[in-house]
Each structure stands twice: as C-alpha cells, then as structure tokens.
Structure 1
C-alpha cells in the first residue's frame, strides 16, 4: 500500500451514504480521507440551516486528526442563506480547525470561473424549493441558470439509494443548447461514475457537488494530482 502523506477532511451530513465511498474511490493513492458528520436527515429549509449549528464541534474533531484541508461538501446547506453565505461557513471552519477550508458552493463557483462558465442547467434529486434556492444563489453570483430539473425527494437517505444512472438521465433532461455546462447538485447523489459519459454525450463540461468539492479541496491540499475518468475538472485542471 502506498504511504498516505496527505489528509483530506470531509464534513458531511449524517444521513449521507454516498460521499465516503465516492471520495475514497477517486482520491489519489497518497491521500487519506477523514470524516465528521453533521446532523441532517431531510433536505428541507429548517434542516439545511440547523446543520451548521454543529460546524465548529465537528471541525475541531477533524483538527484532532491533523487534516490538511476541510470541505463542507453539501450544496443546499452552503447556499441556503444567499450570496456570500458559503464564505462565512468557510471562515467558521478555518477558525475552528486552523486549516484552509471550502464548501460545495464555494468550490462550484470557483470551478465555474475557471472554466469560464456563464450559463448552466441544474439537475438535482431534491425538491423544487431547494432547487430554486440553489439557483438563486448561483444567479446572484453571476451565473445564469437556463433550466432546472428536480426529482422531489426530501429524505436524504432515499437520495443515497438512487443509482448514478438517475444523475445521467436527469442531466440529459435538463440540458439546454445554450448552456455552457451541466451541474448535478447534491452530495448524496451518486454522480462521479457518469460524468465522463455525460460529457462525451453532451459535448460540454459536467460538474457535480462531489467533483467540485474534491477538486477544490485537492487544490487546498496542494498536492501534484490528476484524477482521470471522472470528467475534465478532476482530470487536468487547477486553479489559476
């Protein structure tokens, strides 16, 4: 086994069953994954606000593991209170653990900037209300949402039972000729294994909550890395 020299810190919702196996599968062999969980069972307005009440306590646990960087890889909670809310969450994590931090929302916007993405379509397994909140955050940050699709699932554990094929199918349904990219939102939705195929079939970048979170956190860790097979963002792109 290759020696693990970097430590990736992940804050995830308590009902998330997707991120740990997805992240562990794709992270470079010299990077180990270390997780802490924040209480969330349903993807609803109250739960996506309350989840961050535990932020400092769980971030401090990751500090105990001496991680190199931390990500809150949850799109709905990190966009819940509008433009700039993600940066406030980053600051709270950094203060609690003394390490650089990012969120799913922050990573998403940085990836849009890097790829010069101005217009997207949004696909997600959660409800229309959550989709509207996320879309409003994206548009307030300067990126147009041309079209969106939502499956209407509230229970996060149910989202974790969905196959990656549902992400491919909804991404195709949401696509728009004028869109620069497709964004597959929700960290508990299996997406990584279909990104390459969806990019090939649509001819445009496909980003997901988890691909953006891995990409941004790996840049914070500052290792020499490339993760092929999961879309162009992870294969060969760095922050400028």
Structure 2
C-alpha cells in the first residue's frame, strides 16, 4: 500500500503546455488520494486558424501514448485524463474507440472529459445545453457532435479562439463571464466548459449560484468522475454541487 496514496493512486495526463489541470486536480484531491502527473510533450505553437488547431490536436495525439507509458511505471491504479479535445473527436463512437485504446494501453480504468461531462449532465438530468471552449470552430464542431450523439440538444456554443496552447491558461474571468452571459438563457438547462487548460473550477461554482443552473467545469467533472468510479464518495466544498452533493 502506498504510504500517501493509501486510498487511490491516480495517474494524470496533460499537455506540457497545460498549467491549469495539475493544480486543479491537486486542489480537489481528498486525503489518502495522490495524483501523479505526466506531460504530453508538445510545442507552444501559435494557433490562429482551424488548420493550426488541428495540428495542435495532432501533436497531442502523437505523444499521448509515450507520456502514458512513462506514467505506468509508478503503478497507478486509475488514469485521469487532463486533456480534452481528443476525447470528443469523431462523435460518441469515435470517443468510445479512443477511450478503449487508452484503457488497453494504461491497463487500468480511465476517466476523460467527454464522458465525464456527459455523466455530470445526466446526473443533473439536463437535456438542453450550451458550452464554451478555448478552441477554434473546427473543434467546437467535434464537441457539439459528441453531445448530440449523447442525446443532448446543443442550443449555443462559443469558442474563445485562444492564440496558443499556453495562452489558454491566460484566459481571464472577465472573458469567461462574458461567454456565460452569451450562453445563458431560459432555453438552456446547463452550461459546460471544455478545455482543461482553461481555469474555471471555482468560477463555474460561483456562476451556478448566480445563474441558478449547473455550470460544469471539465476539470471538476473529470476528477469527480474518477473519484466516484473508484468508490471514493467524499463531498468537497468550493467546486460546485457536483462535488459537494453527488
């Protein structure tokens, strides 16, 4: 039994440019659970077009398995994926195929952003949703397709078109606030934020009190999904109702 991770030893994957997901996961870590992070090496290339965003996704996919193989050496018990765009690709069937590949390679169970946010939306019994991403339209198309395949109606979505992978983490609360204002409406049951390098775990928790509806940050949903999948039912405050009530 691991001296610190005596309840669960999580492995976590994220792009090398991502500075948000690791501290987010650590902030949500209960006593007796440890997170062990491996970086997917990618360049911090400028992203100004759909084509450049597709190259970013390709760079992440090319190096994910190598980072996973490094992580396996710590004998993790479960994998929490701290990268999201690739987990939405090619609809729900494509996402299932990708998740199966990751499970087979990791040799343990896996939680990822696409299916974790689906589970969160089902927990809230949401049907009509809106979402915000730091991506470009080509990626929002993939996210929308995934949620539609899952049976949700996507009413609206916004892509913030952040100009590089590192710049995603520089997105301000004001940008997020303005996006939520544009997304919200009586025709939306819940709002989802995707993109693990976009810092919204606490902002989303505050926003759902103001808006009176679920605002689901992908890092919160993914870590919640992993905890519950492993039978860890601790209720945590400060990250919204998903972690404090479910």
How does the TM-score come out when normalised to structure 2?
0.88
Which of 136, 149, 154 is the matching residue for 1:140?
149
Partner of 2:5: 4
- Alpha-carbon distance in structure 2 between the residues aligned to 1:126 and 1:33: 26
Shift in Å, 1:50: 4.0
- Alpha-carbon distance in structure 2 between the residues aligned to 1:26 and 1:72: 15
Partner of 2:136: 127
- Alpha-carbon distance in structure 2 between the residues aligned to 1:12 and 1:78: 12
Shift in Å, 1:97: 2.2
Partner of 1:98: 107
Shift in Å, 1:227: 1.5
Report if the CA contact (8 A) 2:12-2:36 is conserved.
Answer: yes
Partner of 1:48: 57
- Alpha-carbon distance in structure 2 between the residues aligned to 1:85 and 1:121: 22
CA displacement, residues 51-95 of structure 1 (integer Å, 9 cap, x when unaligned): 223333322222211222112232211112222222222222222
Task: Tell me which moved more, 31-40 or 53-62.
Answer: 53-62
CA displacement, residues 82-127 of structure 1 (integer Å, 9 cap, x when unaligned): 2222222222222222110121111111222222111111112222
- Alpha-carbon distance in structure 2 between the residues aligned to 1:58 and 1:175: 38
Unpaired runs of 5+ residues, structure 1, are: none
Partner of 2:31: 29
- Alpha-carbon distance in structure 1 between the residues aligned to 2:88 and 2:40: 16
Check 1:62–1:221 CA distance in 2 against 1; reply closer, same or farther (3 A cut).
Answer: farther
- Cα RMSD after superposing both structures: 1.9
Where in structure 2 are the equivalents of 1:146-225 lying within 5 Å?
Answer: 146-225=155-234
Confirm whether residue 117 of structure 1 aligns to residue 118 of structure 2: no
Which of 66, 81, 92 is the matching residue for 2:90?
81
Partner of 1:19: 21
How does the TM-score come out when normalised to structure 1?
0.90
Partner of 1:229: 238
